């Protein structure tokens, strides 16, 4: 059972999310908070697996709450769920430790899948957000003479290189497993090895690394 905490200052949003998650037999809402300060208190008491965190709230905002929660409970997985998908919100909440970033118009089925993927160690991002991150990495690659291009990364195996390229294409673990005819557990192992070998601590940084070094899906 995936235990989640929903944080949003709008009651209608919280009600809608509760109705959605109550339809899923593998997801349980442990609590709700309408501000960041309450989210910090509930996270400490309930220790949920996943927190869906709004960003703009009165008092303690979602970015500050994310930072405080993860300082005390680093194992909790926090996903920003917000109306605002601009860089002023994206980069600060990622820097605070959030593992994903979704917009509130995400289709219900995709949101359910994102919660499951988050609990499973993945980093869910709305497609347009991921595309923007990759586009920015491509721009940096094209304008910087110091950026390595189309070079192997020392220490990674040919299979890890394939996985890295598919991460750069925004594929999930299951999609990578299907593409390479591997088990999902095997893909997870490759992703973990890539993080350890490259010093990138999440999938988005791995995806950006793939773009910067010219490793693309075959």
Among candidates 215, 178, 212, 207, which has minimal Cα distance to 191?
Answer: 207
What residues form DSSP beta bridges with 50? 4, 77
pLDDT tens column, 134-168 = 666 656 555 555 544 445 577 899 999 999 989 88
Check the CA dihedral 50-52-55-57 and report its sign.
Answer: negative
pTM of the model: 0.75
Catalogue all structural domains in the chain, each as residue range(s) with its CATH number.
2-124 (3.40.50.2300), 130-212 (3.40.50.2300)
**Better pLDDT: 130 or 191:** 191
Q: How many Cβ atoms sit within 10 Å of the Cβ of residue 74? A: 8
pLDDT tens column, 28-83 = 999 999 999 999 999 999 999 999 999 999 899 999 999 999 999 999 999 999 88
Could you give the percent of the chain with pLDDT greater than 90? 54
């Amino acid at each position: 059972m995936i235990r989640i905490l929903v944080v949003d200052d709008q009651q209608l949003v919280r009600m809608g999310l509760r109705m959605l998650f109550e339809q899923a037999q593998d997801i349980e809402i442990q609590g709700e908070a309408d501000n960041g300060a309450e989210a910090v208190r509930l996270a400490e008491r309930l220790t949920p697996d996943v927190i869906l965190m709004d960003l703009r709230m009165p008092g303690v905002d979602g970015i500050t709450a994310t930072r405080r929660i993860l300082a005390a409970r680093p194992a909790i997985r926090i996903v920003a769920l917000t109306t605002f998908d601009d860089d002023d919100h994206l980069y600060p909440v990622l820097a605070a430790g959030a593992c994903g970033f979704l917009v509130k118009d995400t289709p219900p089925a995709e949101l359910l899948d994102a919660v499951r993927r988050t609990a499973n160690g993945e980093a869910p991002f709305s497609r347009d957000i991921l595309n923007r991150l990759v586009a920015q990495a491509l721009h940096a690659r094209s304008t910087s003479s110091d950026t390595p291009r189309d070079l192997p990364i020392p220490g990674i195996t040919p299979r890890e290189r394939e996985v890295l390229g598919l991460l750069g294409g925004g594929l999930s673990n299951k999609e990578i497993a299907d593409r390479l005819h591997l088990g999902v557990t095997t893909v997870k192992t490759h992703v973990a090895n890539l993080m350890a070998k490259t010093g990138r601590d999440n999938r988005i940084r791995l995806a950006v690394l793939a773009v910067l070094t010219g490793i693309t899906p075959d």
